[in-house]
Each structure stands twice: as structure tokens, then as C-alpha cells.
Chains A and B, each alone.
Chain A
Amino acid sequence: MSEEDNIKQQLTEKFAFLSEKITVKRARRIFADIPLANFPEVFDYAVKQLKFSILAAITGLDEGATLGFIYHIARENGIVLNLHTSTVKDKQAIKTVTGYFPAADAYERELVDLFGAQVEGLPQGNRYPLPDGWPANQFPLRKDWNVEMLDKKEVNKNA
């Protein structure tokens, strides 16, 4: 059995609800879809027990009614586990992973600024990457957003 299949088996043995949700797309690339409520325990298990100790990135996605989040976590030997979860837009929050990876701070601020994600437990700090005077409720990477919606005068006024 390949190492990727072994990881898949370990995850499904631990979390029965993941049995149909994990795909090994190619060597060193595993994708899994995790329900929001179970995400913290799966993430904790993957990082601490399965030794996915590198956070490569967090991707935000506008999926229509929901926001998607993919946590790309990697092992030292190059295998990447891509854990996807989603929240109802403007209603649900994800929990910060800065406790596991301090570097997630900037990645999560990107999700807040560009997607309007709500991140529980994100420490206070400077916003990133939009300017301080950026108008509220304008999230550039949402699909329904375009530059016409931006009141440039307000940005300049606040800057």
C-alpha cells in the first residue's frame, strides 16, 4: 500500500464519516472534504498524529452560498493533505489555526480581507492586504464583487 493510501486509511479508520470524502489525486496529493463541525478534530489529528507539520497555504473560495477553505498541509517528504471545509456566507465562522501554525496569521487575514471570512480566535493585529481605509463589506475575491462597486472617494477619504 502506498503511503498516500495508508494516510487515507488512517483517516477513515479514525473518522468514519470521511469514508467517501478522501481522494488521492496523484502521488503526494490527497484531497479531503471535511464537515465544518468536525474540522477542528480532523485538523488536530492530521497535524499532531499524522505529522503534517508544514502549513503550505490556506486557499479561500467563493462557492456561491458558502465560502470554501482549503488548508494545504504537508509532510516533510512532500505529501500534501488538502483539507477542504466550508461555511455559510456571513453566518458561520472558521476557527483560527494560528495555535498550530503562527504563520497562519497572514493567511487568515487574507481570508478576512478578500473573502469576508469570519475567523474565530484570530489575534488582534494589522489587516492584510487591503488598505486601512478600505470600505466595509467589500470583499474583492467574492464572485459578485467587481471594481465598479468600489467607492474610490471613500477609500481616499479614509486613507
Chain B
Amino acid sequence: MHSHDFQIPIGPQHPALKEPESFLLTMHGEKITSMTVRLGYNHRGIEKACEAQSYIQDIYLIERVCGICSHSHATCFIQAIEEIAGLAVPKRALYIRTLIAELERVHSHLLWLGVAGHEIGFDTLLMYTWRDREVVMDILALLTGNRVNYSMNTIGGVRRDITAEQKQEILKATDTLEERTKYYIQIATEETTIIKRLSGVGMLLYDDAVNLGAVGPTARASGVDRDIRRDDPYAAYGELKFNVITDKHCDVYGRAVVRVLELMESYKIIRQVLADMPEGPITVKAPRKIPAGEALSRYEAPRGEDVHYVKANGTDRPERVKVRAPTLANVQVVAHMLKDRYLADMPIVIAAIDPCFSCTDRLTSLRDSDSGSKNYMTWPALRSYSIEWHRKQGIDFSDLNKKFKVPGN
């Protein structure tokens, strides 16, 4: 570090960041010369918690590793259990898992496109994409009852079937989304402001992407032709036709192009799944206790390769559950992408890997910091605690509550 260089800490709480993570940047003027990353602020102890609960309970816990890729983590986890137990999951269930997976990818990529627009001051794009994202969120809610955390999976299959009427709704929505996506492709590839703002920013050359272990759209935008759906097929992907999108721009612009073109592939997959989905049962009976064994499961989540390792010991609880979320592989390339770049590029470069630090850090238990005792608060208790806390700070809404007849006051 030269005498006229200086360091700027960014995070763990910072307006440029969407989740808690911490970066220490060494600056030479406006340029970043080096950077260190500190993660772990979202560590919640999920892997440890999995060992103390049954496989069925763990599905719901694992689903909450991430709010956006909930189906990705649950499917990846369940595939490992099914492999150990030797379960032949019905084909229809595999098709339904694939359908939800692609709908999840559509919602995730549209969400990303909006965030990317926002980070470069193009909030119109944010408003448009998030409006259109509601179309796919409605479909997910129609099929599963929830906008996120769909709980479609169970060991041995899926929990809900798809009806003929739902198929029609999905097809209609897919047509709408496809038409809108074509417009975004046009914007991403023709709009001068976007091209100029994103080109050459956050460069990651092919060799560096391979060497540093980048995954997903981040790697594919550097020309790395890898996609677990094709390379290590799971669910129904082995029977479907789709292209793996790559791009040679190696910058944030390339990452945007890969994601919008991947949306088109997702629509293609969704239509194939609906056309080819076989009739039949959606689940097979699974044993409560899983025989001793181990399995490694891989899954192409919207952000890249998700990896789960499960070891079973013959009981109804796993011996070990290991999660490697895609962002942990990608966050390490951010430092490389930002070297010798301007500080102003930092938000979009970080956003361009579509980071999810909640996934990366995983797992907690609530404990009283004074007594050390476990303390799970009920909703009313938490509410009274909050009211009391604010009252101590001199903020008291009790009169207003009475005036407006708020229940419980």
C-alpha cells in the first residue's frame, strides 16, 4: 500500500448493499487497487440444526436457506435423500419439480434485471421488470399456494399435482412473459445507455472464471460452457431440449445478456414440460428412517451450481448436511472483477453476480444475551416487547392505538 493510498470499509450495513457483507477497499484515488471480503453475517446454523431434526422437518428448514432459490435448495437436498433411500420418484413428480424450478428461475432472473437497472440508475427498468415478475409470482402462488417457499417437494415426489386448468394458466402467462422478455432483450442489446454503462465493467476473462471457480450466469458470460442441467442432469432435464446460453463479453453487459436469453430457454422448457408431462402418481411412499449411506446432489440454481451432500446413519435424522450455495463460489471473483476499476462500479459489479449472502452463510438460535438461556418469543410477546422498548425511548403510541381502536390495546 502506497502512502497516498487509503482504505474504505463498505458494509456490513451500507446503502450500496442489499444484504449484510463487508468489503474493505484499498483505493488509489478513485480506483480500487485491492479488496478483501468478510462474510458470515447471515450465518444461522442451518447445517447444525438439520442434524437435530427429522428429514421431513429439514425439507422446510433447507427451503429457508434462501428466499429466492427456495425450490432449488429443497430439490437439491431431497435428491440426495432419495438417492440414499433408493427411491424411484415418479416421472410426473420429476416434471413438476422441473416446472417449478424454471418458474423460479424466471422470477429470479426478472428480479435481477430490475436490481441491475436500479444499480445503474435506470429505475424504469426496475419498475417494468418487477411489474412483469408479478405474472410469474401469481402463477407460482396459483400452483403452490405461495409466492416464495413453495413447499412442493416431499421425499419421494411432490405434494401437489398440476391440473389441466392450471396448465392453461401457465401457458397464457408464459406467452405474456415471453413477449415482455423479447422487449427486454431488445433493450439489453440495443439501448445505448445500458450497453455503454455495462460494457467493460467487472471484467472476468475465461481463464480467470475457470481458475477462480465462478459458476452459473457469471461463468457463462465469460464463455464457460457449464450448466448442471445439461452436464449432470437431474429431475426431467435429461429428457428436455434447451440451449446453454454463453456469451463472450466477460463483463456485466455479458451477464445481463446471458440472463435475459436464459429466460427464453426457461419458457421453452416450461412449454416442453407441460406438453410431455406423463400421467401417473406424483409420489412414492418414503421410509421415515433413511438407511445409512451418502450422496452428493448438484442443481443449477438461478445463480449457479448448488451443491448438497447428505450423510445418513439409518435413523430419521441426517448425520450430516452440507450446503454449498452458488454465491460462495462467485463472491470470490468479485475482488478480481473490481481490481483497477472505479469505486462507482462497485454496486453494479457486486449485483452482477446476483449475490445471495443468506444462501452463502446459511444458518441460528435465539438466546438471551444476559442469561444465555434459550428464549423463543411468541408473536404477542414480541409485540409487547417492541411497544415497551419504544416507550423507553420516549415513543408511545398507546393513545393513538386507543383512538383508532387497534385490537389488543
- Cross-chain contact B47 with A128 (CB below 8 angstroms): no
Q: Check B36 against A59 for contact (C-beta < 8 Å).
A: no
What range describes how many residues of A lie at the interface? Answer: 35 or more
Q: Which of B64-72, B225-233, B251-259, B341-349 binds A? A: B225-233
Q: Is the CB of B361 within 8 A of A129?
A: yes
Which of A1-9, A13-21, A38-46, A48-56 lines the interface with chain B?
A48-56
Q: B36 touching A61 by the CB < 8 A rule? A: no
Cβ-closest chain B residue relative to A143 = B51
What B residues does A150 contact at CB under 8 A? 367, 372
Report whether B305 and A59 are in contact in the complex, using a CB–CB cutoff of 8 Å: no
Interface residues of A in 52-75 (CB under 8 A from B): 53-57, 59-62, 70, 72, 74
Pair A152/B40 contact, Cβ less than 8 Å: no
Residue of chain B at shortest CB distance from A145: B48
* CB interface residues, A 62-95, toward B, < 8 Å: 62, 70, 72, 74, 76-78, 80, 82
Q: Contacts A56-B324, A126-B37, A140-B48 given; indicate if A152 touches B372 (C-beta within 8 A).
A: yes
List residues of B (145-159) whose CB comes within 8 Å of A's CBs.
none
- Contacting pair A128 B311 (CB below 8 A): no
In the complex the two chains form, is A152's CB within 8 Å of B369's CB?
yes
**Bound-state Cα–Cα, A14 to B47, Å:** 36
B18 interfacial contact with A, CB 8 Å: no
B131 at the interface (CB under 8 A from A): no
Taking the closest CB of chain A, its distance from the CB of B319, in whole angstroms, is 8
Roughly how many angstroms separate A24 CA and B208 CA in the complex, as a whole number? 32
Instruction: Identify which of residues 26-49 in chain B touch chain A, using a CB-to-CB cut-off of 8 Å.
Output: 36-40, 43, 45, 47-48
Give the complex CA separation of A127 and B43 in angstroms.
Answer: 13
* In the bound complex, CA of A41 to CA of B113 (Å): 45
Instruction: Please state if B213 and A152 are interface contacts (CB–CB under 8 Å).
Output: no
**Interface flags, A88-127, vs B, CB<8A=1, else 0:** 0000000000000111011100000010000000000111
User: Residue B264 at the A interface, CB < 8 A?
Assistant: no
Q: How far is the CA of A45 from the CA of B228 in the complex (A)?
A: 24
- Contact between B322 and A77, CB atoms less than 8 A apart: no
Interchain CB contact under 8 A, B324 and A82: no
The answer to whether residues A102 and B332 also contact, given A57-B307, A131-B40, A152-B367 and a CB cut-off of 8 A, is yes
Contact of B232 among A31, A80, A105, A129 (CB under 8 A): A80
Q: Which residues of chain B are near A131, meaning CB under 8 Å? A: 40
Query: In the complex, what residue of chain A is closest to B84 when comparing beta carbons?
Result: A25
Chain A residue with Cβ nearest B294: A31
Tell me, yes or no, whether A37 is within 8 Å of chain B by CB: no
Q: Which of B40, B368, B369, B372 contacts A129 (CB 8 A)?
A: B40
B83 to chain A, nearest CB (A): 7
Are B294 and A57 in contact, CB atoms less than 8 angstroms apart? no
Distance (Å) between the CB of B372 and the closest chain A CB? 5
A36 within 8 A of B: no
Identify which of B48, B232, B331 contacts A141 (C-beta below 8 A). B48
Are B231 and A153 touching (Cβ within 8 A)?
Answer: no
B298 neighbours in A (Cβ, 8 Å): 56, 74, 78, 80
Interface residues of B in 344-400 (CB under 8 A from A): 361-362, 365, 367-370, 372, 374
| Contact A102 to B211, CB < 8 A, known contacts A107-B324, A153-B372 | yes
0/1 string, B210-226, CB within 8 A of A gives 1 = 11110000000000001
17 contacts between A and B (CB under 8 A): A26-B83, A29-B295, A56-B305, A56-B307, A56-B324, A57-B309, A59-B309, A59-B320, A78-B233, A102-B212, A103-B213, A107-B328, A128-B38, A130-B43, A140-B45, A140-B48, A152-B369
Beyond known contacts A80-B296, A103-B332: 6 more, CB 8 A cutoff: A59-B309, A76-B226, A76-B231, A106-B328, A127-B40, A129-B362
